[in-house]
Amino acid sequence: MTDEETKYDAVIVGAGVSGLFMFYKLKNMGLSVLVIEKSDELGGTWNWNRYPGARCDIPSLEYSYQFDEELQQEWSWSEKYSAGPEILEYLNHVADKFDLKDYINFEEEVIQAKFNEDSCLWSVSTNKQKYVTKFCIFATGCLSIPNKPEIPGLESFEGELLHTATWPREEQNFRGKNVAIIGTGSSSIQTIPEIAKDVKNLYVFQRTPNYSIPSNNGPMDKDVEAQVKGRYSEFRKENSLNGFGLASLSDEALISESDLEEVISQFEENWNTSGLAFFGGYADIPVDVDSNEVAANFVRNKIKEIVSDEETAEKLCPKYHIGGKRLCVDTGYFQTFNRENVHLIDLHASPIENVNSNSIEADQDYEIDILILATGFDAMTGALTSLDILGRNEVNLKDQWKEGAKSYLGLGVSNFPNLFTITGPGSPSVLSNMMPSIEQHVNWIADCIGWMSENNKSVIESTKTAEDEWMELVNEIADMTIFTSTQSWYNGSNIEDKAKAFLPFIGVPVYTEKLEEITAAEYQGFIFDKSN
């Protein structure tokens, strides 16, 4: 360690939802902590994804921190589903309330983190300086590295090129412009209805259609808010007992054991009220292909009812199991295709031949002023494998994960002592309400660090056996569902040279039970104070 290297108990990478709360916890434990954030603002996902229409598809009353009763009582959301800017405002409020901002190093980017086996300390190098720390905590998010696919001729485009995941701060002027958007995932489904209002023409280049459920968004119902706030902790507890950690619509009813007419009538009600919870409307939608098909077909019929042009409606109908790709929630998405200025181009029938200086060539030449890539993320692992994280024997995490990411509980990785990931691969993360899942991990990490200190342990590391067995369980559970049946970012299929492995743990209650069991057994599967 040189004089210029400041030593910390913990360095947290990222000042989004997880980094902020992790910092709050460790600061309150009296640890010396540094937060490093690449952007000049906090907020993570909500800072980067500023495209028009960006909105959380988890209800506002659920997508909020629960760690502080005063905070959850004092904050009021204006809508049932919050728009990106309001969530950013909330996160800034949290940072101000708990005095977090002054300790965040903004506009600093981590390049490398290296474990020193002699000192058992991490050296964290950024574009500005080097730090030494005992614990290195990656709060880098599951969807933070944009996927920028190779599209022929893209570099020759001379108009404005945007990506939904790195949207500029300044308001974009679409009025009277010809705009193309590539990709039809959640981001695109949210932004298309907004952009379509202003543009001369909007060309939507679709590779795979998506299922989407109307958000039925609206102003926050004050009675509902009061009811929830009156019993917030019970409400959170109840939600945590549901498979995806969300308020559920129904009990354990199965489509396979129900009268079909009743199911359809229930679906009608759910379609008009639910958003994402539509998927949990019946317990067998995620696990029984025939029941799944009933739900899928219901949504396809809705698309055909909404979209007037039959050919367009047919192209918008997904063929795979509903939920196989992340289910989307929208505000008038399918309706937008009834506008005369919106055109759907099916890339399966006519792939993009080339992007020219002012046009895209597919089945014809589309002249455009603006091109939006809504092509998603290198999900779940991208933020970690895009850095050089060097563990024991200088093994690089990106090499260790070449054949597929393996982690113990989504919290620790063998060969990487004293390194924690928040909502890492192998945890419910993206298949749950991220807020409580983040809080669960942050609380666990803070407790673990406290326990280590009380028990005179200085180094923690998960074993390879525990990690292998854990990922086997992750895959065993996933194989019992429809989630592995489709190419998706859940299994790395959206990134060309990425190993194909299913990464989220399905089932919040089962995960919680296992996490608690392992912790109660003095962190079974982790070893402490291991020297080389």
Residue ranges that bind ligand NA7, judged by CB under 6 A: 143, 149, 151, 164, 182-188, 207-208, 326, 347, 374-377, 489, 494
Least CB distance from residue 507 to ligand NA7, whole Å?
Answer: 18
Helix (H) or strand (E) holding 399: helix 397-400
Least CB distance from residue 55 to ligand NA7, whole Å?
Answer: 10
- Of the pair 182, 471, the CB lying nearest ligand NA7 is at 182
Least CB distance from residue 437 to ligand NA7, whole Å?
Answer: 13
- Of the pair 188, 266, the CB lying nearest ligand NA7 is at 188
Least CB distance from residue 492 to ligand NA7, whole Å?
Answer: 11
Least CB distance from residue 149 to ligand NA7, whole Å?
Answer: 3
Q: 516-520 — which CB contacts under 8 Å span 24+ positions?
A: 518/409, 519/444, 519/447, 519/448
Q: How far apart are CA 475 and CA 293, in angstroms?
A: 23
CB 453, CB 478: distance < 8 Å: no
Beta-sheet pairing, 130-138 with 419-421: parallel
Return phi, psi of residue 344, to 5°.
-100, 125
E strand spans, 223-364: 328-330, 342-346, 354-355, 359-361
- Of the pair 126, 331, the CB lying nearest ligand NA7 is at 331
E strand spans, 15-169: 33-36, 104-105, 110-116, 121-126, 130-138, 160-163
Least CB distance from residue 267 to ligand NA7, whole Å?
Answer: 22
- Of the pair 379, 460, the CB lying nearest ligand NA7 is at 379
**In 3D, which of 452, 450, 444, 458 has the Cα closest to residue 408?**
444
Beta-sheet pairing, 130-138 with 121-126: antiparallel
Least CB distance from residue 182 to ligand NA7, whole Å?
Answer: 5
- Of the pair 143, 355, the CB lying nearest ligand NA7 is at 143
Least CB distance from residue 323 to ligand NA7, whole Å?
Answer: 12
Task: Tell me which residue has its CB nearest to ligand NA7.
Answer: 185
Least CB distance from residue 151 to ligand NA7, whole Å?
Answer: 6
- Of the pair 8, 377, the CB lying nearest ligand NA7 is at 377
- Of the pair 123, 187, the CB lying nearest ligand NA7 is at 187
CB 122, CB 136: distance < 8 Å: yes
Q: How far apart are CA 93 and CA 82, in angstroms?
A: 15
- Of the pair 25, 55, the CB lying nearest ligand NA7 is at 55
- Of the pair 139, 294, the CB lying nearest ligand NA7 is at 139
Burial of 96: CB neighbours in 10 Å, binned 0-12, 13-18, 19+: exposed
Neighbouring residues of 100: CB distance < 8 A, sequence distance ≥ 6: 20, 23, 24, 27, 35, 94
- Of the pair 346, 461, the CB lying nearest ligand NA7 is at 346
What is the residue whose two structure tokens read 């696919």? 149
Least CB distance from residue 399 to ligand NA7, whole Å?
Answer: 25
Burial of 454: CB neighbours in 10 Å, binned 0-12, 13-18, 19+: exposed
**In 3D, which of 322, 437, 382, 372 has the Cα closest to residue 190?**
372
